[in-house]
Chains A and B, each alone.
Chain A
């Protein structure tokens, strides 16, 4: 009897461990794979490791916000991570989507990043990102397609009081 109870406990522990591993793998698959190219020189100013980490963290967060804003047609979700031209353009796109009854779901699965320019006074950072993502188009809540895309983006970020914000985010032909 005691032995059966012990076996049951071991099975319970094993099942819990399996559940945890599955949960972790599911969560892990939601996060994009990020690769950062080694940076030898970014122009006139040395890019400290801490600054580089902050730039990349805020840039990836910007993609997350962008995805939510486009999926929910909520332009306000762009406020925290975007500024200037990028913000104006994406706000317009979200409004246009809402007007047409469209929504788009962007799910970025990989970023291959390279920081290429840090301005002399530290007022802008430019990076190049080869992004892999799926985009799903919904017309009046009906999924029309899901396409897999891999393209190169050029981004310019500028510092604000608390974070780096994306000022330019523009795809270019590879």
Chain B
């Protein structure tokens, strides 16, 4: 009976001692809740002895041998990819775990600026779109709302400007193309990060079309007035103008590219023929030859 009591007491003492040991070696973790990408930070552990600290995320993995009870410091840049990180501390007789988030740095550093289209007709409402994604210097998308501005300035007219807050790291806008042809600078700016695209504004469709005719021997010399869009810009050379002559139930057609803004051709001078002119969806005037215009 006495020896049984002694062994029970001994057993109890061993249990208390091992529990004490477990307390001293329990590796607790004190983690930051969030860390800014690229910033220095530290992790505090409790206990004694050595352990391995894992910081694991999709963007980075770190593995460090640490001394329990000490503060483990991470230098600026050690953890620079934004994301959710799982932390695990493995000591010989215990483990500890936790998690924290790395957020993008606050300072915008790079923009991903998509401007479309690269060529646009003049005088088109909402004809140009711009989308900008905002990144920090570690290429993390900055998800905090940030002020973004867009400006479109061309060869004529006042620049158009829009300012807005990013949402989930993105901002977008639509702009009108100018009434004058020429290259326009489309600028996106977020903080000190700036990106520029060049948008070529080209003349629109012809607005009106007019031709005149004169006799040239057995032929008619046909010539258009300079062809312009509705804003007065010269329609590009190469645009096709179609002349059609109808005579006695027959029809003859000639396609002519604009040269220096004017289309010229010759067609047979049949008395009583009707000549018409068109380009794209624009019809020009008609000439009745021999009976006057």
Contact = CB atoms under 8 A, between A and B. Distances in A.
B101 A144 contact: no
A96 B56 contact: no
A154 B168 contact: yes
B75 to A, nearest CB: 16
A139 B61 contact: no
A120 B90 contact: no
Interface stretch (B78-86, B155-163, B199-207): B78-86
Given A126-B170, A149-B86, A171-B84, A137 B143 contact: no
A156 B84 contact: no
B104 to A, nearest CB: 8
A104 interface: yes
Nearest to B116: A121
A170 B140 contact: yes
Contact of B101 (A70, A117, A173): A173
Given A100-B63, A137-B88, A124 B131 contact: yes
A93 B59 contact: yes
B133 A170 contact: no
B92 to A, nearest CB: 13
Interface string B165-176: 001111010100
A145 B95 contact: yes
B129 interface: yes
Contacts of A90: 58-59
**B interface secondary structure, majority:** strand
Interface in A78-119: 85, 88-90, 92-93, 96-97, 100, 102, 104, 106, 116-117, 119
B172 A154 contact: no
Contacts of B117: 121
Contacts, number: 124
Contact of B172 (A88, A119, A147): A119
A71 interface: no
A171 B56 CA distance: 13
Contact of B131 (A70, A116, A119): A119
A93 B55 CA distance: 12
A44 interface: yes
Contact of A170 (B52, B56, B82, B172): B82
Contacts of A66: 58
Contacts of A96: 60-61
A66 B135 CA distance: 23
B61 A145 contact: no
Nearest to A154: B168
B82 A144 contact: no
A76 interface: no
A128 interface: yes
A96 B90 CA distance: 19
Contacts of B169: 126, 154, 168
A119 B82 contact: no
A100 B61 contact: yes
B114 A149 contact: no
Given A170-B141, A171-B84, A135 B116 contact: no
Nearest to A131: B84
Contacts of B129: 44, 119-121
Given A90-B58, A93-B58, A139-B52, A156 B101 contact: no
CB-CB nearest 5 A-B residue pairs = A120-B129, A171-B84, A121-B116, A173-B101, A171-B83
14 contacts: A43-B172, A93-B61, A100-B61, A102-B63, A104-B56, A106-B58, A126-B170, A128-B168, A139-B52, A144-B90, A145-B97, A168-B133, A171-B82, A173-B101
Interface of B: 33-34, 52, 54, 56-61, 63, 81-84, 86, 88, 90, 95, 97, 99, 101, 103-104, 114, 116-117, 129, 131, 133, 135, 139-141, 143, 167-170, 172, 174
Interface of A: 43-44, 66, 70, 85, 88-90, 92-93, 96-97, 100, 102, 104, 106, 116-117, 119-121, 123-124, 126, 128, 135, 137, 139, 144-145, 147, 149, 151, 154, 156, 168-173
Given A119-B129, A145-B86, A168-B141, 15 more contacts: A70-B58, A89-B139, A93-B58, A93-B60, A100-B61, A117-B167, A119-B172, A121-B114, A121-B116, A121-B117, A124-B114, A126-B168, A145-B90, A172-B82, A172-B143
